[in-house]
Amino acid sequence: MASVLKVCGGRPLHGTITVRGAKNFVPKAMVAALLGDGESELHNVPLISDVDIVSGLVGLHGARVDFDQESGVLHLDPQDLHTAHIVDIDAHAGSSRIPILFCGPLLHRLKEAFIPDLGGCNIGGRPIDFHLDILRTFGAKIEKKPGGIRIHRDGPLTGAVIDLPYPSVGATEQTLLTSVKAQGITVLRGAAIEPEIMDLIHVLQKMGAIISVDTDRTIRIEGVDKMSGFVHHALPDRIEAASWASAALATGGDIFIKGAHQPDMTTYLNVFRKVGGAFDVTNQGIRFYHPGHALQPIVLETNVHPGFMTDWQQPLVVALTQADGISIVHETVYENRFGFTKALRDMGAHIQVYRECLGGLDCRFGRRNFHHSAVVSGPTPLHGAEVIIPDLRGGFSHLIAALAAEGESTVHGINMISRGYEHFLSKLRALHAHIE
């Protein structure tokens, strides 16, 4: 795909698009399949590069992957799993964070693994200290190597009590994927409970795992000896759905999103309504539209589930540039997630970022050198500009801003968007965007 897109903005997006399986779930379910004695079948799989990356990595270790892009059905047979050569692994790791989640399954099956240094969006340090502490607690031995880490186990991995310092999605997934076949019981306190985490628990339960989730973020796992393959229909991508919904708001449009699921988006829908958007929920999906009157400013704080998701924040900020007044956004999950606002300022937005925790509780980044609060004053007409995409969600926000702006914009680095938004060019055309 060419990495430059010309956008002729200032027109409302309108029409119907479909979102398929969640980018932040599907690759994890593929890793979970490595724990099974038999083949697994995953439905509603989107055509995104994170799926390619994991397909390549599991293939390297001898698993067989068949993915029918049309039907979205992916088969994964892990029966011939074997260790892989370090140099090949590096080539497949790509800019993903998923490889760190291979640790548990490969330790159980192969007793050892080499995990390449991770990629992922530059929205903060993206440390993996929680992951490494968790693996050591289960009994894994970890050595830092050039380009990654080598892990191995001498005896069986044993269940543990783990207190997460922060409800980290990745660290919760690390614990789930390692504990299900460890000996004994694991208690994980302070766990993430996102819908994607719950869907991963449903997959593991189908495979034979015994997992309970309490209302106080405590997850208990009883280790089992055998796990089978699974058949599962992936939950829809609520981040993609919210991104297009924010695009409808920012461009004064009307988009029906097939597959959008209200229970996963409750908090987003509340904020969408407070900003002045309108939505209709049906069994097939959700219609998001701008009802025509002025958009309202809000005070917003991102948080772990069930709070307002950090990945929903950037696309919504574009819509807030069109709201009639001053909005405050306090990003509490990542320390550096307002990089994308520079391009919006170049297009005429009035956005100022601050080091202070604004409009909400003190968070981990207060009184440090992180610009993690933003003040947006609107409405400001946006004009076309030349922009370079910084990261996945920020990149989609640039696209929305270009679509909302009067005149022509040139957006560089759009192939990064295909990491998390399948067929987004054909979706833009289906929504009558003027692009080339």
Q: Where on the chain is the footprint of ligand EPZ (CB under 6 A)?
A: 23-24, 97, 121, 124-131, 166, 168-171, 192, 239, 310-311, 333-334, 392-393, 420
CB of 379 to ligand EPZ, least distance (A): 27
CB of 196 to ligand EPZ, least distance (A): 7
CB of 165 to ligand EPZ, least distance (A): 7
In SS3 terms, 331-348 reads as CCCCCCCCCCHHHHHHCC
- Cα dihedral sign, 107-109-115-121: negative
The dihedrals phi and psi of 89, each to the nearest 5 degrees, come to: -60, -45
| Of 40, 84, 37, residue with least CA distance to 61 | 84
Residue type, 389: I
- Active site includes 357? no
Q: Of the listed 103, 121, 357, 363, which one is catalytic?
A: 121
Both structure tokens of 189 = 């306190």
Nearer to ligand EPZ, 197 or 269 (CB): 197
Give the span between the Cα atoms of 266 and 370, in whole angstroms. 29
CB of 402 to ligand EPZ, least distance (A): 19
Residue carrying structure tokens 């801003």: 401
Nearer to ligand EPZ, 164 or 323 (CB): 164
Nearer to ligand EPZ, 171 or 353 (CB): 171
Nearer to ligand EPZ, 17 or 123 (CB): 123
**320 in Cβ contact with 276 (< 8 Å):** no
Give the span between the Cα atoms of 52 and 16, in whole angstroms. 26
Residue type, 396: F
CB of 79 to ligand EPZ, least distance (A): 27
Nearer to ligand EPZ, 171 or 404 (CB): 171
Name the residue whose CB lies closest to ligand EPZ.
170
CB of 44 to ligand EPZ, least distance (A): 17
CB neighbours of 257 closer than 8 A, spacing ≥ 6? 16, 17, 18, 19, 241, 244, 245, 285, 286, 287, 288
Per the document, the length of the chain is: 436
| Of 152, 147, 149, residue with least CA distance to 87 | 147
Q: Which residues pair with 114 in a beta bridge?
A: 150
Nearer to ligand EPZ, 310 or 322 (CB): 310
Q: Which positions are annotated as active-site residues?
A: 121
